[in-house]
Chains A and B, each alone.
Chain A
Amino acid sequence: MDPTLIGQGLLSGFLFGGVYSLMAVGLTLIFGVMRVVNFAHGDMMVWGMYLAWMLSVRAGIDPYVGFVVCAVALFLLGLVVQRGLVERIVDAPHEMQILLMLGVALVLENAALVTFGPDPARVRSPLSQATVWLGPIFVDLARLLTFGLAMALTGALWLFLARTDLGRSMRAAADNPYGARVIGTDVRKVYGAAFGVGAACVGAAGALVSPILPFQPTSGLGLSVTSFNIVIIGGMGSLPGAFVGGILVSVAESMGAVFLSPSMKELVSFGLLIAILLFRPAGLFGKTAG
């Protein structure tokens, strides 16, 4: 085995892990606070990507700047979905929750198809073409940037949850909704904010990733599955878990591509998922199991 190939594989996998982490952060926040599994996660991210694409093509705004707009737009969408839909079925059986988000996913995916057409799109950013060479190994600058942004976003979210009142309320509601109500927290408002903030993260992730990943209306499902994998492995509700999980899954897949056949690299991440589910269901950084 070529050591250069292995080294490159590790580096590429590590950097791409930033992309994965960004995808997973919003999902883990929503689940961590509300115990709701957002099956429309990938489709919301695709809308973030298309919004970034529109900003880039129509207004000439680079996605590394425009992601703020996407975050705000998706925040509003998340708020609407939570207040209008999710809140109403808080006490309904689990399967109804799943059905609801599946319905939302279907609507989002086909709304994108009707609006943007079926062709794959990608956002061109001057940064997405640059590379830096360290001897025989190269560093993809766009991915390095995304990695940095993933760290920054995770850090910012961490600070939000730890230092702001709203953030602390979210954590309280996550740990003990009844107790939180007892001390006067408006749990309804907190849930709305959590879903909104989670969706905003997803929107920002979509925008930041749009120069790297080509996307189509049907990309949502694959993104959802990958994100769920990462979040389970890292630990549902854990921000460092989402970050580390993303890197771990990406490196594992990259090594799978180096040593096995790349078309089977998904088996590596699914195998990892099953191992975690069986032996440490809380995930690497999670607190309680199940």
Chain B
Amino acid sequence: MRLLALLAVAVLVALPFVVGSYVVTVLIFIFFYAYLGQAWNIVGGYAGQLSAGHAAFVGIGGYAAALLSAHAGLSPWIGMWIGGALAALLGAVIGYLGFRFGLRGFYFVLLTVAFAEICRVVALNVDAVGGALGLYITFTGNPRQFQFQDNRAYYYVALVLMLASTALVRSIERHRFGAYLTAIRQDEGACEALGVDTLRVKMQAMILSSFLTGVGGTFYAFYLFSLQPNAVFGIPLSVEIIIRPIVGGAGTVMGPILGSFILSPLAEISRTYFAQGGWNGAHLIVYGLLLIAVVLFLPQGAYPALLRLARRRP
């Protein structure tokens, strides 16, 4: 298994020298969304606390880094950690309010959505952060400003993000923290009865998850060169973040990666196929049907299904 993983990584490292810029871009987004999905996976997959407001952390991280870069000349390489910390702060607030007040399941989902929407409306109306116009980053291609003239440099950054987050989640899974998270997802009451401080564990998961997502926000800002409240705090981005780990298998190490490698290329192929025609929206119908199909036929997610398939082979 380890040999397979190393081989896969080697292929990914070599790929940009073989394929064109378009495929590189598609892969960049596959890696980036896998990273965000992995970050979500910690609190949403393993701990089972479904957050549908993770876009808020992307937004806060991105805005913080962009503002610090524009107004204080602070390199985003440093700004990204500050952005992550601020996102973690919001995560702590949301987590505390949610967990302390005993919000489970759908109620917690809605709490996270409410906070993300509040961030969005505030960002839309506060001129200091750009209002509805948003923030625009000048394209300089200067690596010190977390920008690269060559698309492939972004590829490697995104690849590192994905691999590092996956290694982190794998490590969590193998240690006690991961066991606590899984136990809490399965039966929180029993955990508490056994003396586990579930509030503390859940808070740790939430803070870690939101921190990592906030760091991702900086990548978003300096790859797409603009931050707009509706795009970066909005529900559609939160949805994009969570569907990959869910499709791949929430609470598994490879889930977000597999989900991303399934969904992104299919979305690309579907959109390209329908691009020249007149049926605008057909590609999204296909995408929606795909999500439905995954739920019906792979109800535990793609990765667990793959494992089961592998085990059946003699």
Seen from chain A, the residues whose Cβ lies within 8 Å of a Cβ on chain B are 31, 37, 85, 88-89, 92-96, 98-100, 102-107, 109-111, 113-114, 118, 217, 221, 225, 228-229, 232, 261, 263-264, 266-267, 270-271, 273-274, 277-279, 281, 289-290
Residue of A nearest to B282 (CB): A114
Given the complex, which residues of B lie within 8 Å of A289, measured CB to CB? 102
Contact A270-B291, Cβ < 8 Å, known A85-B296, A102-B243, A277-B111: no
A89 and B280: CB pair below 8 A?
A: no
Residue of B nearest to A231 (CB): B110
B281 and A95: CB pair below 8 A?
A: no
Total interface residues on B, CB under 8 Å, equals: 50
- Return A31 CB to nearest CB of chain B, in Å: 8
Contact of B107 among A92, A217, A232 (CB under 8 A): A232
B285 and A290: CB pair below 8 A?
A: no
Given the complex, which residues of A lie within 8 Å of B52, measured CB to CB? 98
B289 and A107: CB pair below 8 A?
A: yes
Within 8 A of A (CB), among B185-216: none
CA A103 to CA B239, docked complex, whole Å: 11
A103 and B290: CB pair below 8 A?
A: yes
B111 and A290: CB pair below 8 A?
A: no
Contact A107-B292, Cβ < 8 Å, known A114-B279, A114-B280: yes
B102 and A281: CB pair below 8 A?
A: yes
Q: In this assembly, does B26 line the interface, its C-beta being within 8 Å of a C-beta of chain A?
A: no
- Return A42 CB to nearest CB of chain B, in Å: 11
Q: In this assembly, does B250 line the interface, its C-beta being within 8 Å of a C-beta of chain A?
A: yes
B295 and A89: CB pair below 8 A?
A: yes
- Return A139 CB to nearest CB of chain B, in Å: 30
> A102-B239, A271-B118, A277-B101 are known contacts; what are 16 more A-B pairs with Cβ within 8 Å?
A31-B106, A85-B292, A94-B105, A96-B246, A98-B109, A99-B294, A100-B296, A106-B284, A106-B291, A107-B292, A109-B284, A266-B117, A273-B114, A277-B103, A279-B101, A290-B103
A270 and B117: CB pair below 8 A?
A: yes
- Return B126 CB to nearest CB of chain A, in Å: 10
CA A109 to CA B284, docked complex, whole Å: 9
Residue of B nearest to A37 (CB): B106
Given the complex, which residues of B lie within 8 Å of A274, measured CB to CB? 97, 111, 114-115
- Return B43 CB to nearest CB of chain A, in Å: 12
B110 and A277: CB pair below 8 A?
A: yes
Given the complex, which residues of B lie within 8 Å of A95, measured CB to CB? 44-45, 50, 242, 246, 250
Given the complex, which residues of B lie within 8 Å of A273, measured CB to CB? 110, 114
Contact of B246 among A31, A99, A105, A270 (CB under 8 A): A99
B281 and A267: CB pair below 8 A?
A: no
CA A109 to CA B107, docked complex, whole Å: 25
Given the complex, which residues of B lie within 8 Å of A92, measured CB to CB? 295, 299-300
Within 8 A of A (CB), among B248-290: 250, 279-282, 284-285, 287-290
The 6 closest A-B pairs by CB, nearest first: A106-B288, A103-B291, A110-B281, A113-B281, A107-B288, A103-B292
A270 and B114: CB pair below 8 A?
A: yes
CA A31 to CA B104, docked complex, whole Å: 15
A89 and B288: CB pair below 8 A?
A: no
Contact of A263 among B48, B105, B125, B295 (CB under 8 A): B125
Residue of A nearest to B52 (CB): A98
A96 and B295: CB pair below 8 A?
A: yes
Given the complex, which residues of A lie within 8 Å of B167, measured CB to CB? none
Contact of B101 among A88, A105, A278 (CB under 8 A): A278
- Return A259 CB to nearest CB of chain B, in Å: 15
- Return B74 CB to nearest CB of chain A, in Å: 30
- Return B260 CB to nearest CB of chain A, in Å: 15
CA A168 to CA B103, docked complex, whole Å: 29
Contact of A264 among B44, B125, B281, B296 (CB under 8 A): B125
Task: Count chain A CB atoms within 10 A of each CB in B50, B243, B291 and give the residue with the most.
Answer: B291
CA A267 to CA B124, docked complex, whole Å: 12
A267 and B121: CB pair below 8 A?
A: yes
Given the complex, which residues of A lie within 8 Å of B294, measured CB to CB? 99
A-B contact list, 19 entries, CB within 8 Å: A93-B299, A94-B48, A94-B106, A96-B246, A96-B299, A98-B109, A102-B288, A104-B292, A106-B284, A111-B281, A263-B121, A266-B117, A273-B110, A274-B97, A274-B111, A277-B101, A278-B101, A281-B103, A290-B105
